[in-house]
Each structure stands twice: as structure tokens, then as C-alpha cells.
A and B are shown apart, each in its own frame.
Chain A
């Protein structure tokens, strides 16, 4: 009945026996104790559970833990580097892109994924790129500003690195 899975989460390798029906979000939260991935709905609408699987954003409430077998998962808890916060985290703080903060980890991970695909998005592209993530507090304006700010900073870093 149970299946053995090997998953790397935020750089650490894990191996567990899980029920095939166990959702990835519950594996992260209940088995690994990662409290920074959230559940906001049961229909994949809100995006609070968004994490990266091999660098691509997924809603971890519609991925089974067994589907993550052999894959690499990044949550908001693994996003900061040795030199501090990821530019998207920093920009959300500076642009006041969060209020209660419950949608924030998912929103940040979706933004990281969006900027990976499109390093210089227009405002409309940001809004559409984040449409799978719902925020009830901010009215989205400062989230959009945060993503614009992070995009600028990341492009600057990329230029500096080249």
C-alpha cells in the first residue's frame, strides 16, 4: 500500500514511505514539518501551496507526494541564499507586497518562476503570470510593484555577473 519516495526538499534529501494518496503539500507540512508552504483552498485556485518542482512552479495541493519521487522541491524556506534573501523576498518586503502574509510564500514562489521564464515582464504580464495566486489583502498593486522591483534587481545582477 505504502510507497517509498526519495525527494530533495530545499537542498536536503529525504526518503519516506507514504500513502499513494498523500498530497505533496501534506507531505511537506505534516511529514517534513515545512510550515512555510500553505493550504488556502481545496480546488487549486488560490496558489498558497505553490512550490518549485525542478525549478517550475507547481501547486503542491494537486501533486501527489509519489509524483515528486526523484524530483527536487524548493519551498520559500529554501529560497534565501548564503548572501541573504532572494531579490523577490526582499522586494516583497520593501514594496509592502504582503499584509497577512498567508498567500506570500506561494506568491513569491510563483513570482520566482515567472521571472525565470520572463526576466523583463510588463505589468500586464506580471498580473497574468500571477493569476493563479490569490491575495485577499493587498489588491495586488504592491505585489506587482514588488515583482517589477525584483525583476530590475535580478536583471542588474545578471548584467553584473556577465
Chain B
């Protein structure tokens, strides 16, 4: 009678999402067509900074197919509140007003000033050029250090400064640590600005419903957050607003926001009484959707002569862009606690100065603050190793936390959950054949091979499972870091899981089905996962920050446990046994010692539904809801080795191999986890070698389309060799850690450390991202020049003549 229970968690379950996607039957926001629907398009500023003297929309209104044209003035009544800053990170944070359309000034290229509503998108776009805006150009500031200088053009005059906030953190006696040091290594790193590039551009449809209600369909990662915030901006009461995230084509943080176009869609559908749609074009996306990174990092470490780190100082400049979006202020601070990395030392100080410039707002892009931190610490540990002539693996090992499985305080004062770094590093050294690689490197150096070999390390951790409500509140985010789930066993025994996470490529439907299937002893095919619609999944905090599994997936697990607890009581009643004697295995409740006396969960579900014979006082139905608010973050970690070949004659970098041993705790779906790592590593490689959003001094985005901004294709990225270790997290009952951002956080320093390692014998100590052939070649020439004129060596390691570095004068290796 007892069958072996099949386990799905950890197994190879193919994705349930795929059939619609591989046959072209998905529902993207742009696929939604509603009767009477109008389309809108935005007049965007062609200048980075200018006063608006006047706007004349009369000619645009006369264009064929045009229904209405509105300016900021025309829509003033629509707004109950401006677009909010989600994180009040300091008490004296300077928050500018941010309305869906700007009326007084434009503050970045693409700032929206008017909206045209028309019968179709061609007509709307045609009419844009008939809107006449009289701009009075103002001085532009695009460089953070310039923006902080006295007399700099002010992005927001009413704030009286371009400084948004200063946020310090100090732990331990930093002066004492530096005074004890044998060596101090100090460097400056540039985190170039990146454009997230989800392949589906944003889109939104808003539909008026009877009774003053509205439905908003948006290509968003955060339908629940969007609902609350749109309710506040537009003054539509929460219970009259339904937000749906249909199939969403990638986000990477760029759709973790509330944008002017979403507020405009809702307001226009209310004003005009018909459904309206807006679909972003790619070159528009490059201006109108948030950018990522854009920080200047000054970092120094104090260490003993045998490589033990004593303390670390970090000073960060973070570019907010022209306005604050939902998470703009908090992104650099997600990194604040992570600069110590995997290393244990006594004292740490951090200061972040956030700055307004005439550029597109920044916000969360995959990793959000944490790739920046991981990059800086992993670069400076390599710099320390070079300074002490030690092996980079050895310096790391010397400073690692010892293995632990319960929370341990780290130098920034937060508690890491569980680590075994030694095991991951040992394994990746073995996988890569580290000794063999060093031997090959030596041979190539000795033979003067024009193609040199570089071996780059990154041993990283990240703060994942962005959740604990108290921590979110302490950082100025208000709280609400929990995640919710419901599990319902229907009368037939089939299962519905309702989740508050909002997947857009991560495969939650499959993974949550596996979790529920194991918990309830059913097949994943018997589980439906409902998500992304605030009408059917009313509670949720959505998907970002590698939180979905360690918060939302765990909520599913806990809700299923609650269902089993209730089912056990019903089964005991049905089997006329004591509840304590009931065992549950493989979907079957049986009496301990009498396995023949049993009922299935399907039978229990039927009994719970019919309710004709339930235990005294029990409510009908087999359903449970859980809110999970974990006590701590989770901290996945890993050890990566990137192997590059650098052509010293052309500067071209080829990644020959990429080895990664990652630990995200127990794995629900290995194929999906590997996929997250592949894609994450590729995005990190993209930052290291290819991508950069470049503005000229007038604030024009020079890399304004996919022609100029190099999103890598298949030939530009390597094959990945992945393995994992499993160190369960004590932060949640499944022990899971999350993996959505790991690759992007781990890989950029591995790549750049490899490039520098390939050239270090030539005297190269520094290259900024992206390490393009021109930059690498220039660094080689510069180093050779230094060697030639010994004694005159620049201390920067940075190519002195490189024009693209002029904005950010060099760092120094003391």
C-alpha cells in the first residue's frame, strides 16, 4: 500500500512556462488589445537641461488621428502626489518633486514634457513633431565631482545643492586599524553607467472599469508595489485598482519601479474614459527607463605584511541622475554592508555621497549596489596580493571567515548566515587546474608570447532575500519585506498555489509547483501557480533582490505545511485514530503501525470540501495562507575563476574558460539555477568587457541605441563550467539562499582581475571597465612607457592620456 514518494525538489522538472513561450502564445502587455483603445506617445526633451518657456500643442491637436494632447499644466489636477522616492535613507534626504510630466524645466535628455493620445501608435508618433516647445538651454552637469563643486549648475534649484544625501557607517576603530598596518593599498574604481536592456521594452495598458475602478496591465516586476504607488499618485483608492503583470519579458531591476508612463496611462484612461496603451521603443528605453551603477569608488585596505587585512575604508560617490525613482537612493547602500566581502577584519568605515546630475535616473540593475561592492573588494584584494607578491588565492584564504552554519557578525556589523568558503575555493582551484594554468602562464611569459594568459579570481558573497521588514524600515523603506502565499487543495485534490512573487523569466511556476508537490505528495502537474494579478494574488511584495525563493518560495512551503496540519486532523477523524498517530508520506495519511489504514490527500480534500463529516468545530475547506517575514537576509557565495587570453598587440580579450563554484543553499530546480548563473555571469562579463552608457558634456546619450551600446551576443560570451556546494541558510526552514543576481555580482572582478593578471608582468596594475581592446592596448602602452622611463612612473596605473578617463582623475596604489 505504501509507495515510495517521488521528490521533485532538487530534481529535473522541465519548465511549465515554456509551452506558451516556444509557440508564440504568451500574453505580453503589447499583445493586449481592448475595444476602443487609444495609444499615447511622449514628447521628450532633446536637451539635458533647459527651461521650458512655452509649449504650443495646437498644431499637434489638428493632426489626423489625434484625440488629445496634454502638457504638465493640463494634467495637474490628475495627481494626488508626485512620483515617490521609496527609501528615505537619511532624515535630511533632499527629495525633488517628480511629476509624470515636467512643466518648468527639463533635467535630462528624454525628460517627458507632453503626451499625445491618438487612434494608433503611428498617428501618435507622427504628431509628436508638431508639439512646439520653446526651450532655453541651461548649463549641464553630468559629472558627479563637478556637480558637487561650488557654482555648479543645479539640477534642482529649490534644493540649493546637487548633493542628495551623505550616509556614513563606521564599525570598529578604523584609525587604530590603519595605524597598525604594514601596508595600505588605496585605489579608485569606476563603476560605469549601464543600461539594463530587458529584451521586452516596457509597456502599459490602462482600462477604466465600471464604478470608478481601473485595471492597469504593465510590463512590471512589481504589480503589488505598483498598485500601492499608483493609488497614491493618481488618488485612485486601492480597492478600486487592479494591477496585472502579464507575461513579462525580463526586468533585471529595470521594471522594479513606478514610471511616469504608468501614472500617465491610468490618468489618461480616467480623463478620456477609454483604454489607453503605451509601448516603449528601444531608443526611448535607453532614455526613459532607469540606468544602473554609475559610481566612483575610493577604497583602501590596511593589512599586515603577511596579507592579513586589518581594516577597510570606502568612500563612494553615487550618481542618482536627475530624479529619484523608487529605489534610487537605496541602491548604493545595499552595497554599504557588502564591501567587506568574505573577509573578516576589525574595522570598517563607509561613506556614500549621492549626487544629482543631468542624466537618466539610476536605480536597481541586477545586483543593485552589490556587484559594485563585490567588484571593489575583489579588485583591492588582488591589488594587495600584488603589493605583497602573494598568490591571490592565498590572500583570500588568509582572510576568509572560518566555516560556520549559524549567524556570524561581519565587519560592517550585519550577520552573515552560513559560509564554507574554503570548500568552494578548493573546488574551483581543482576544476580550473590552477597549478597547470600558472605553469602555462609562466611559459607564455618566458617565451614572450604576444597572447598572454590571465587568471582572475572572484570570491564573493551577496545580500539576498531582500526581506526583513524591520531592516527595510531601518533603511528608510518603511518595511513590508514579507512575502505571502496561499495553498488551496480543491475538492478534486488538485492544488492552487497563489504567490506574491511576480516572475518574469525565473520559472517560479515550475519551482513553486515542485515545492508544493513535495509538501503535499502530489505531482507538479497537479499544481497551478497563480501570480502577477492583484485581483487573484492580492498579497505580495514581488520579485527583485534574489528574494523570490528565500522569501516567496518559503512562504509557499509554509502554507503547504499549514494545509498538511489541517489535513492531518481530518485524516485522523476519517481513520478514527489519534492525530498524533497519523503519518504523512507521499500524499497519503496512514495510522502509525497500521499502514493499511490510510486516506489520500485527495480524499481528505474531498471530505474538507463536502464538510459532511468533519471534526467537531472545524471550518470546511483545505486552504491556508502564510505571510513569511524572515529574521535575516541570506548570503549566497561562490568562488569564480576566469581565464583570459589577452592579445598584447591588439588589446583584445578572449575569455577562454569560466569556472564557477557557487553556493545558494539547497537547490529546487538545478536546470533553472544553472540558467540563472549562466545569464548572470554573462551580464557581469558584459559590464567587464563591453557595456557602457556614455554621455557627452552636453548631456547627450552617445550610446543611444543598441547599435552603439554593445549588448553581447552569443559569440561574445564563453562557455561556463559550473559546480556547486550546498551550505543551508539558517534564515529560513528550506535553507535556500536565492541565486538571481549571483553571477552578475561574482563575475566582473573575476574578468578584470584576469585581464590585469595577464598583463601584470608588463607593469599593468589597473584597467577600468569595460576593458575594451582600445583601453587594454592603451594600458599596455602606458605601462611600457613607465617601464622605459623608470622613476617617472605614474602611481595611478591608469592610462594618463586616455580621454575617456579625464572626467575621473586617477586613483593611486600607495
In the complex, residue of chain B having the shortest beta-carbon distance to the beta carbon of A10: B24
Could you mark each residue 103-114 of chain A with 1 if its beta carbon is under 8 Å from any beta carbon of chain B, else 0?
Answer: 111001000000
Q: Is A66 an interface residue when CB atoms closer than 8 A count as contact?
A: no
Is B683 touching A136 in the complex (CB atoms < 8 A)? yes
Q: Which of B23, B675, B707 has the most C-beta atoms of chain A within 10 angstroms of its own C-beta?
A: B23
- CB pair B19–A93 under 8 Å, yes or no, is yes
Which of chain A's residues 80-133 have a Cβ closer than 8 Å to chain B? 80, 85, 89, 92-94, 96, 98-105, 108, 123-124, 126-128, 130-133
Residues on the A chain within 8 Å of B678, using CB: 138-142
A105 lies within 8 A of B199 (CB): no
> How many B residues touch the partner, as a band?
35 or more
**Residues of chain A contacted by B14 (CB below 8 angstroms):** 93-94, 96
Instruction: State A92–B197 Cα separation when bound (angstroms).
Output: 22
CA distance A148 to B199 in the complex (A): 24
A139 x B21 contact (CB < 8 A) = no
**CB-CB < 8 A to B20: which residues of A?**
101
A19-68 at interface with B (beta carbon < 8 Å)? 19, 21, 29-30, 33-43, 45-46, 48
> Across the two chains, which residue of chain B brings its CB closest to A40?
B199
Q: Which residues of B contact A42 (CB under 8 A)?
A: 281-283, 705
**A105, A133, A141: the one within 8 Å of B24 (CB):** A105
B199 and A136 contacting across the interface, CB-CB below 8 Å: yes
Q: A96 to B18: give the CA distance in the assembly, Å.
A: 9
Asked whether, in the complex, the Cβ of A89 is within 8 Å of the Cβ of B23, the reply is yes
A77-B25, A99-B675, A108-B22 as given contacts; A137 in contact with B250, CB under 8 Å: yes
In Å, the complex CA distance between A88 and B429 comes to 37
Within B723-747, the residues touching A (CB, 8 Å) are 743
**Contact with B25, one of A29, A36, A140 (Cβ below 8 angstroms):** A36
Determine if A73 is an interface residue (Cβ-Cβ < 8 Å).
no
CA distance A133 to B716 in the complex (A): 12
Per the bound structure, the CA–CA distance linking A92 and B22 in Å amounts to 8
Chain A residues near B504 (CB-CB < 8 A): 100
- Tell me if B199 and A48 are in contact (CB < 8 A): yes
Shortest beta-carbon distance from B254 to chain A in Å: 10
Q: In whole angstroms, what is the CA distance A138 to B200 when docked?
A: 14
A interface footprint on B704-718 (CB within 8 Å = 1, 0 otherwise): 011100010111010
**Do A39 and B30 have beta carbons less than 8 Å apart?**
yes
| Interface status of A7 (Cβ within 8 A of chain B) | no
From residue B189, how far is it (CB to closest CB) to chain A in Å?
Answer: 24
Task: Report if A142-B713 is in contact (Cβ < 8 Å); known contacts: A75-B24, A93-B18.
Answer: no
Let me know if A93 and B714 touch, CB within 8 A: no
Q: Determine the chain B residues whose CB is within 8 A of the CB of A43 once the complex forms.
A: 282-283, 705-707
Chain A, interface residues (CB within 8 Å), range = 35 or more
A135 interface contact, C-beta 8 A: yes
A151 touches B (CB below 8 Å): no
Q: Cβ of A102 and Cβ of B250 under 8 Å apart?
A: yes
Q: Is B198 an interface residue (CB 8 A)?
A: yes
Chain B residue nearest to A94 (CB atoms) is: B14
Across the interface, which residues of A come within 8 angstroms of B393, CB to CB? Answer: none
Contact of B22 among A19, A89, A130, A132 (CB under 8 A): A89
Interface string of B491-512 (1 = CB under 8 A from A): 0000000000000111100000
* Cβ-defined partner of B23 (8 Å) among A36, A103, A128: A36
- Would A35 and B31 be within 8 Å (CB), given that A43-B282, A138-B678 are in contact? yes
| A100 and B672 contacting across the interface, CB-CB below 8 Å | no
> Given A45-B706, A100-B198, A137-B505, is A132 in contact with B713 using a C-beta cutoff of 8 Å?
yes
Contacts of A34 in B (CB 8 A): 24
Return the 4 tightest CB-CB contacts between A and B, nearest first: A36-B24, A102-B249, A101-B21, A100-B505
**Would you mind naming 5 contact pairs between A and B with Cβ atoms under 8 Å apart?**
A41-B706, A99-B505, A101-B247, A134-B199, A136-B199
**Which B positions have Cβ atoms within 8 angstroms of A?**
14-15, 17-28, 30-31, 33, 120, 122, 197-201, 247-250, 252, 279, 281-283, 504-507, 671-672, 674-676, 678-683, 705-707, 711, 713-715, 717, 719-720, 743
